Structure 1
Amino acid sequence: MEKTTSTPSLHSKFLKRPDSLQLELLPIPEDGPLAKYQQSSTGLVHVGFKDLTYTVKEGILRRKPRDLLRKVNGEFSAGELTAIMGPSGAGKSTLMNILAGYTRSGVAGKLLVNGEEREESTFRKQSCYIMQNDNLQPLLTVHEAMTVAANLKLSARNTHREKQSRVKEILESINLWQNRKVKTCSLSGGQKKRLSIALELLKNPQVMFFDEPTSGLDSLTSKQCVMLLKQIASTGRTVICTIHQPSAMIFEMFDHLYAVANGYCIYQGTVEGLLPYLEQSNLKCPPYHNPADYLLEVASGDYGDFTEILVKQSDNGLNQEWRNKQRNSLQFQSLDHIDKLMESGQITPVKAPPILFKKITNGNAKEATFCGNSQYPTSFCNQIYVLLKRTFLLISRDRTLTYSRISTHLGIALFIGTLYHGIGEDASNVLNNFNFLFFSVMFLMLTAFNCVTTTFPSELPIITREHFNKWYSLKSYYLAITLADIPIQMVATLLYAIVTYFLTMQPVEAFRIFSFLFMCVLISLVAQSFGLFIGAIMDIKNGVIFGPFCFLPFTIFSGFFVQLNDSHPYMRWLFHISFLKYGLEGLVLSVLGYDRGKLPCSADYCHFVYPEKFLDQMDMEYAQYSTAVIFMLSLVAIIRIAAYFALSLQIKKRT
């Protein structure tokens, strides 16, 4: 790095505000009131990049390459709050995603850590990416969310008391301790943003990336958010964020500015050096004009095309003359002024917790755990345990996924049981009994499918954030969410099956009752598996529209509308792959098969007095219950494995 030169102060060029609200750009006092924010240089992490290019292909038939970043260079130092700015489409979010490791394909150039090419897996462990949307679990309280994160992100060597002490320390630091019992869905926008930051601080990251941290916040809350980021940076971390159009006050709080336009770097340096830098190209900011707005106007070409001149002047990010090694812009005295405002109650009191951290290294060391080696802070088994607890807690509070599902099954069971009351013991109602069994197949299938299809896609943004930030492996999450929902689905299914079985007066024989209940559970598990698969590859809207195509075409081959022997020879193979056929056969055999005796007849004539005659007419005389069970269990396993790989591809596509 070249020796930096001092730059003139720009206080006179910034929009003037009352002294009570102004943040002055002041030098660091040797023993000032905020000397507590200073840290040793040991273990600091500087993030850099050299000749960074990002190319995408556009078009459908002729896919033409287009560069969104063009050999940009830069370095973001530890202890600085860095802002990446630029107009829409300039490449600032693309640059952020590449630096965070969120975007990896189509990237050329070098990503550096402390001047050396970084090892991606190691860097990901020591960094975090807080996205624009908070993506929090809405049904968890603040303390529950922090506890789950602590159990996943802190080593198993830490005791429960140590984890809770850490949670309390961070929540108190960001002024959320008094809201610890509030569900995240009831938090304000600023509180959600602070909670998102707190969740990642548990891992003690050395590098923190923020995508539009002030998006959707009012001016006061935005100022408090940026102030918190500044204090986090002052503890020695590298804090990098994209920001679109900050106010003049917020703009002054940044230590380092990296400006992009059309995929090039047009400025890299201190905030106070921006306007003198632009003046070298005869770009003079008008009086009482926000320098941040002026920068965006210049980058957008409102004053002419100066991109090439500014890129040459900044050497596409290589020019370090406008950097200030002294970090005068840390504004410790301004932070002291903010502390006084917090004490007076004018703004929300927040502060960065004093955290020491280890030096980042480029290695592949893996922590040994009781479940084998893991690249995550805690073991695979512990991840499943924590995620199962969280999922059960969410399910217990989810009215749609739990209470509505159970009440729906109970309500429909009472209705159908009343409608078909007593049909199971009379030969004159064999066809009605068959209709009841087919309705049961369709009802269990649709309810199990829709419950998962409409809820699982909403989890994807949360999974993406947590998995990317190394909370847990995708295998542990999928296994936990799969295991957690099975008991609820089984309770709802068994509730429907038991009520309808006895209200319709099916034979009271233990093996028949068990066979009926077991087949009902298998039907619902197959449908639930299809729901997981569709939810993993489609959003809610497309899942509701296209999801039924997974099973509705097979209803015609279920044996209810058309029997096997009556169908066209070339289409009979479809009967053998229809899980609805096997589900219906399993229920019919449970109540009418296994050599059931002669049925009583209350009418003048009953055609199906002997159940074997009915089975023969329905082409079920050779059906085997065991075959249906094997087919359904195999289908559950195959579809759930396919759903896992679909989820894995979806997560990779998002990252």
Structure 2
Amino acid sequence: MVNLTMDASSSQSLTKVRTQKRPDSLKIELLPIPEHCVPATFGQELSNQINVGFKNLSYCVREGVFHRRRRKILRQISGDFYAGDLTAIMGPSGCGKTTLMNILAGYTTKDVIGKLLINDELRNHTLFKKQSSYIMQNDHLQPLLTVHESMMIAANLKLDSEISQKEKKSRANDILEAIGLWSCRKVRTGALSGGQRKRLSIALELLRNPQVMFFDEPTSGLDSSTSKQCVMLLKQLAQEGKTVICTIHQPSALIFEMFDHLYAVAEGRCIYQGSIKGMLPYLEDLGLRCPPYHNPADYLLEVASGEHGMYIEDLVIKSENGQSQDWRRRQRDTLQMQSIEHIDRMMRNGVVTPVRAPPSNFSIKKTFTGQTDSSKKIQCFAKTYPTSFCNQLQVLLKRSFLMLSRDRTLTYSRILTHLFVALFIGTLYFGIGNDAKEILNNANYLFYTVMFLMLTSFNCVTLTFPSEIPIIIKEHFNSWYSVNSYYLSVIISDVPIQIISTLIYAIITFYMTAQPTESFRLFFFLIICILISLVAQSFGLLIGASLDLKSGIILGPICFLPFTIFSGFFVQLNDAHPYMRWLFHVSYLKYGFEGLMLSIFGYDRGKLPCSIDYCHFVYPDKFLDQMDMEDAVYSHCIYFLLGLTIFIRTVTYFILQSRVRR
């Protein structure tokens, strides 16, 4: 690879900054680093550091019913975020700071105009993603996994397969101990506090030691002490030479002073880029004087919102829309040192949980420009994910089965529901299967079986799968695994539970209702029951991947309710209007109902005993004729249901792929 360097003046200046040492009294003790590990430190070579820049960046969104109106979010802004600096992007709501963060992180790529730079050269998006991570505002974690399980699963997905399991475990344990989560390593993530969840989200991404870290409002929803603790951790990560960039909204004065670099945005343009200490003199040059004992961060937001007059144009011109470097300071000021010392003292006194930046093991050195032939060749053959597809599938299957074993709704409730309903239906229709008098009730039982298996299979997935989408999006964006491996793991892991539940219901009701005991009839009956449940589960996956939970509950029944009337139970094919008969041939409920009817009454079943004086349907073939199923073929039912299952799951895969990438 080609090593990237900055211009000579910038290199000398930055080298001077990186080699400055904090007073010993203010140092935060890091974890001991093994002798064979070489951490990424404050004094590492600049070629290993990543400075993020952007020039003339613009972004528009389309609005209106037909998306004809365009609204500008970012307007020709520029900026530079250096390695070793803790950078804050600030601005009032709707100013474009989150949009800017999404673009810099690569989360938003469509309709972006301008240049994204790494060490003053155009960046290669694919290679950049391998050394960056994005911790979003909402901590999307698997609630049924413990802290240590989450770390080990992430380690097996994010670290190279060549690294031994012992080293991965050691790395995970070091990080947990460093950020103060070792004591709750056996606690499920759903039971963690807000600050613990935030630290765990950071810990998961630190496993691969990214050089660039993006945080979307990391202190959102946290109390004052926890916010200080979180920002202190980010500060330590920056001191190790990482580029740490975060959006933040109305920080306290103490937290505000801890940032090295401030990038202020208003109306999609940059109004200030520089140090925290330089912000107030910068504003005073335009006659904007911050009142005494007033939080400078609050005052900046008031200015950006226009509460003190229309100064935005003047500020944009003064900052050259982010290109001016006049107000960037290369040293920490006294207030910042006092802020760090204050939080350090709180940690030593036990007011907040002590957190430390973990040692930077497994450092991965890469370059990020894609302009040369050699880097293009590397990109073509580079792995998109740290581990192979097979390893991803193995780890994700293990995670899925572990969560299923603890999920009361998706596993235990589903099995118990099928068991109790089977006993109830078996009692209600007890012994009807071998009596011609009860043949209509037997048909009612078969149709109820179709509806019950369809509804339970559909609802279980529709109610649970949408909650997985944000987790998939976060983990896939940070290059944990591919959509292919995740989707295949979901299908493989959930199918056994669904089949077991279906078999429990089908076998219990089959024998309690005294259906014919021929083994082939039981086999045919079970096959159709399983296929019905798989088709309904496929529709549930489709709705869950396409819509959110609320929309899925409202629109989901459209998948099966219109086809209920065309199932052959309420209206027979020959009785329907000629223009409506084609709907019978596309109704999967019809094929499911026909398959069950044929398994019970078909294949030349003999005369049924009659317990009363007269039974009209003594011969099952006559009853099938009455139900317009004289020409039904069992194999056609199998082919249709199996083909529909494969088709829907394939469509679901492409929808999920599109949604995750979008």
Partner AA of 1:387 in structure 2: L
- Residue pair 1:270, 1:329 contacting (<8 A) in 2 also: no
SS of alignment partner, residue 397 of structure 1 = coil
Q: How many residues align?
A: 630
Q: Scaled by the length of structure 1, what TM-score is found?
A: 0.93
Query: What is the Cα deviation at residue 354 of structure 1?
Result: 2.3
1:476: which partner in 2? 485
Structure 1 unmatched runs, 5+: 5-26
In structure 2, how many angstroms separate the alpha carbons of the residues matched to 1:534 and 1:62? 25
Given candidates 442, 449, 457, the residue that maps to 2:451 is 442
- Residue pair 2:228, 2:343 contacting (<8 A) in 1 also: no
Sequence identity percentage: 64
Give per-residue Cα distances to partners, 1:508-538, cap 9 Å, x unaligned: 1111111101110000000000000011111
Given candidates 409, 418, 427, the residue that maps to 2:427 is 418
Given candidates 15, 28, 39, the residue that maps to 2:43 is 39
In structure 1, how many angstroms separate the alpha carbons of the residues matched to 2:287 and 2:42? 38
In structure 1, how many angstroms separate the alpha carbons of the residues matched to 2:73 and 2:368? 30
Query: What is the Cα deviation at residue 373 of structure 1?
Result: 7.5
How do 1:498-577 residues align onto structure 2 when only pairs under 5 Å count? 498-577=507-586
Query: What is the Cα deviation at residue 462 of structure 1?
Result: 0.6
Give per-residue Cα distances to partners, 1:84-120, cap 9 Å, x unaligned: 0001111111110110111111210000000001111
2:193: which partner in 1? 188
Matched, 1:49 2:49: no
2:128: which partner in 1? 123
Give per-residue Cα distances to partners, 1:536-572, cap 9 Å, x unaligned: 1111111111111111111111110111111111111
In structure 2, how many angstroms separate the alpha carbons of the residues matched to 1:381 and 1:527? 28
In structure 2, how many angstroms separate the alpha carbons of the residues matched to 1:519 and 1:360? 56
- Residue pair 2:257, 2:339 contacting (<8 A) in 1 also: no
- Residue pair 2:257, 2:336 contacting (<8 A) in 1 also: no
Partner AA of 2:294 in structure 1: H
Segment drifting more, 573-582 vs 372-381? 372-381
In structure 2, how many angstroms separate the alpha carbons of the residues matched to 1:115 and 1:451? 51
Query: What is the Cα deviation at residue 337 of structure 1?
Result: 5.7
- Residue pair 1:557, 1:575 contacting (<8 A) in 2 also: yes
In structure 1, how many angstroms separate the alpha carbons of the residues matched to 2:500 and 2:468? 23
In structure 1, how many angstroms separate the alpha carbons of the residues matched to 2:558 and 2:334? 60
Matched, 1:107 2:116: no
How do 1:25-36 residues align onto structure 2 when only pairs under 5 Å count? 28-29=20-21, 32=24, 34=27
In structure 1, how many angstroms separate the alpha carbons of the residues matched to 2:427 and 2:558? 31
In structure 1, how many angstroms separate the alpha carbons of the residues matched to 2:335 and 2:295? 20
Given candidates 383, 387, 390, the residue that maps to 1:378 is 387
How do 1:570-649 residues align onto structure 2 when only pairs under 5 Å count? 570-649=579-658
2:33: which partner in 1? none
1:12: which partner in 2? none
Structure 2 unmatched runs, 5+: 1-6, 11-18, 31-40, 370-374
In structure 2, how many angstroms separate the alpha carbons of the residues matched to 1:365 and 1:596? 68
Q: Alpha carbons of 1:558 and 1:358: their partners in 2 closer, same or farther (altered >3 Å)?
A: same
Partner AA of 1:412 in structure 2: V
Given candidates 346, 357, 360, the residue that maps to 2:367 is 360
Matched, 1:217 2:226: no
In structure 1, how many angstroms separate the alpha carbons of the residues matched to 2:45 and 2:383? 30
2:322: which partner in 1? 317
Query: What is the Cα deviation at residue 361 of structure 1?
Result: 3.0
Partner AA of 2:322 in structure 1: G
- Residue pair 1:406, 1:492 contacting (<8 A) in 2 also: yes
In structure 1, how many angstroms separate the alpha carbons of the residues matched to 2:9 and 2:164? 48
In structure 2, how many angstroms separate the alpha carbons of the residues matched to 1:586 and 1:545? 29
Q: Alpha carbons of 1:374 and 1:591: their partners in 2 closer, same or farther (altered >3 Å)?
A: farther
Q: Scaled by the length of structure 2, what TM-score is found?
A: 0.92
Query: What is the Cα deviation at residue 358 of structure 1?
Result: 1.7
- Residue pair 2:418, 2:501 contacting (<8 A) in 1 also: yes
In structure 1, how many angstroms separate the alpha carbons of the residues matched to 2:358 and 2:465? 35
SS of alignment partner, residue 454 of structure 1 = helix
SS of alignment partner, residue 424 of structure 1 = coil
- Residue pair 2:129, 2:478 contacting (<8 A) in 1 also: yes
Matched, 1:405 2:414: yes
Give per-residue Cα distances to partners, 1:118-166, cap 9 Å, x unaligned: 1111111111110000011111100011011001000100111011000
- Residue pair 2:255, 2:339 contacting (<8 A) in 1 also: no
Q: Alpha carbons of 1:52 and 1:2: their partners in 2 closer, same or farther (altered >3 Å)?
A: farther
- Residue pair 1:28, 1:331 contacting (<8 A) in 2 also: no
2:499: which partner in 1? 490
- Residue pair 1:374, 1:380 contacting (<8 A) in 2 also: no
1:143: which partner in 2? 148
- Residue pair 1:466, 1:472 contacting (<8 A) in 2 also: yes
Query: What is the Cα deviation at residue 346 of structure 1?
Result: 2.3
Give per-residue Cα distances to partners, 1:619-652, cap 9 Å, x unaligned: 1111111110011100000000011111122223
- Residue pair 1:255, 1:330 contacting (<8 A) in 2 also: no
SS of alignment partner, residue 433 of structure 2 = helix
Partner AA of 1:303 in structure 2: H
SS of alignment partner, residue 385 of structure 1 = helix
Q: Alpha carbons of 1:556 and 1:333: their partners in 2 closer, same or farther (altered >3 Å)?
A: same
Q: Alpha carbons of 1:471 and 1:450: their partners in 2 closer, same or farther (altered >3 Å)?
A: same
Partner AA of 1:525 in structure 2: L
- Residue pair 1:254, 1:329 contacting (<8 A) in 2 also: no
1:391: which partner in 2? 400
- Residue pair 1:28, 1:328 contacting (<8 A) in 2 also: no
- Residue pair 2:55, 2:114 contacting (<8 A) in 1 also: yes
- Residue pair 2:116, 2:123 contacting (<8 A) in 1 also: yes
Matched, 1:132 2:141: no
Q: Alpha carbons of 1:531 and 1:75: their partners in 2 closer, same or farther (altered >3 Å)?
A: same
